[in-house]
Structure 1
Amino acid sequence: MSLYQLQDNTAIVTGGSSGIGLACVELLLEAGAAVAFCGRDEDRLHSAETTLRQRFPNAKLLAHVCNVLDAESVNAFAAASLAALGPASMLINNAGQGRVSTFADTTDSAWTEELNLKFFSVINPVRAFKAQLKSQSNTAIVCVNSLLASQPEPHMVATSAARAGVMNLVRSMATEFAADGIRVNGILIGLVESGQWRRRFEAREERDLDWAQWTAQLAQRKHIPLGRLGLPIEAARAILFLASPLSAYTTGSHIDVSGGLSRHA
């Protein structure tokens, strides 16, 4: 039984067809919320929807193909979710992967692409759903961010800079939206199991290592005190806390979900 009882709430999850986003959808449905989630890949989206409907046959659920970088596409998603499930009271922004590049080899177009992705994957959904959130009580926006926002890596210079900007944006929105009763928070993830890490595992040189051994070595090289990668469900639990009334007096903050990787107090 879920500790979170969210009946009569509608939650929106972007990038919800896999990884952390999908784990969020599952937790929200377990808590009784109606959920609309989106993704760009139609096949992956519908596969996730089929699995979710089998697991939650009575759930109020909407899966919608959407590109969060296209304002019209996001507006259409907002209209569809409003018609199907009613006004949103929670918005979870979860989109975007990391770009491996140094300052020397990051082109102008790569900078533009990375900054556009990280900022407008938040800006477009917030613009599209803000009126719905404002019409409800106990509403929240949660942004999935990275520890790179406060602990940049030189081999991910563009992503680190963009993530820092998003952390600042969360704080700015929290201050501005407080008058509308909308809380805005985020999480800072470290290394979390994902398709990206699975692909790197499949391409590994150490063929004698299984997934558990390979990720344990990775955690050791990255100096993660807990000695492993995080799980999508662990990040999703922190997100659900921030989205729910359990964090009713928290806004403009970030929860560190990095297994102790952060070097900051």
Structure 2
Amino acid sequence: MDLGLAGRVYAVTGAGSGVGLATAALLLADGAHVAACARDVDRLRAALGPLPRAGGARTYAVSCDVRDGAAVAAFVDGAAAEFGRLDGVVNNAGRSLLAPVAETSDEQWRDEFDLKIFSVLNTVRAAEPHLRRSDAPAIVNVNAILARQPESRLGATSAARAALLNLSRTLAADLAPVRVNSVCLGLIDTGQWRRRYETSGTSLSYDEWTAGLAADRGIALGRLGRPEEVAHPIVALLSPRASYVTGSSLDIGGGVARYV
């Protein structure tokens, strides 16, 4: 099915690997231009370089710390100038802080909210004037099931994720007709989990170790998700075909849920 993405322009933060890179790849394959940012621009450009592109789709890649409002504004304005338009934004930058509340410092709490909340606010503020000139403007915030299903070992991250889910609903109301939706992720097989496996000291293979994680977290499908399994719903929500969907959140977690 043609999603109507060809020739449109989408900005993706945290695009150097994992879900961000998979989303960029899918957009390019559908003929959309992609403005991508990450902190390591050399790694970002190396990752984007070999991706297949349809219909002359191009990329614009820069280094950007999404917590820096001025840097984000320069990225977004530069992308709009490069392509002459901006149709959507994927707010993907983020990571988790594995620490119980009692072991989380005030600075770490502030860092979590800075990354989860202000990274989105910075991007939305910069993108809004450009998006309002699009005939199908859309924002997708990449969040986590932790927003509704907190874990004590991820106290600060759970709280910040809940705040982002709430903010996303507010933005959907305030920015309309710009559509704002969320995808809430469970365990996705990205570099973060690879790094945790390598430092775990386990004698298990990676597949065995991740299967144990899936069992521990109650994932019905019994495995971690793949970045491309997140990218497809993100791109669908960006698409003009989702023109009557806003203020919604979609769980992508293999069936993990302890809430109704």
Verify same fold: TM over 0.5. yes
From 116, 119, 122, the counterpart of 1:118 = 116
Counterpart CA distance in 1 for 2:88 and 2:65 is: 19
SS at match of 1:138: coil
Where does residue 45 of structure 1 map in the other structure? Answer: 44
- TM-score, length-scaled by structure 2: 0.96
Provide the aligned length of Structure 1 versus Structure 2: 259
Matched, 1:196 2:192: yes
- Residues 91, 140 of structure 2: 8 Å contact kept: yes
User: After TM superposition, what 4+ stretches of structure 1 lie above 6 angstroms from structure 2?
Assistant: none
Once the two structures are superposed, the pairs formed by residues 1-265 of structure 1 within 5 Å of their partners are 3-52=2-51, 55-56=52-53, 58-178=56-176, 181-207=177-203, 209-265=204-260
- Residues 172, 181 of structure 2: 8 Å contact kept: yes
CA displacement, residues 123-162 of structure 1 (integer Å, 9 cap, x when unaligned): 0010111000001111100000000000000111110000
- Residues 4, 240 of structure 2: 8 Å contact kept: no
SS at match of 1:144: strand
Q: Which 5+ residue runs of structure 2 have no aligned equivalent?
A: none
Counterpart CA distance in 2 for 1:163 and 1:108 is: 17
CA displacement, residues 27-52 of structure 1 (integer Å, 9 cap, x when unaligned): 11111111111001122112113223
- Residues 38, 63 of structure 2: 8 Å contact kept: yes
- C-alpha change, 1:157 and 1:23, in structure 2 (3 Å) is same
SS at match of 1:104: helix
- Residues 8, 33 of structure 2: 8 Å contact kept: yes
SS at match of 2:149: coil
SS at match of 1:153: coil
SS at match of 1:37: strand
Counterpart CA distance in 1 for 2:62 and 2:201 is: 39
Counterpart CA distance in 2 for 1:46 and 1:8 is: 21
Counterpart CA distance in 1 for 2:79 and 2:96 is: 29
- Residues 5, 32 of structure 1: 8 Å contact kept: no
Counterpart CA distance in 2 for 1:91 and 1:157 is: 28
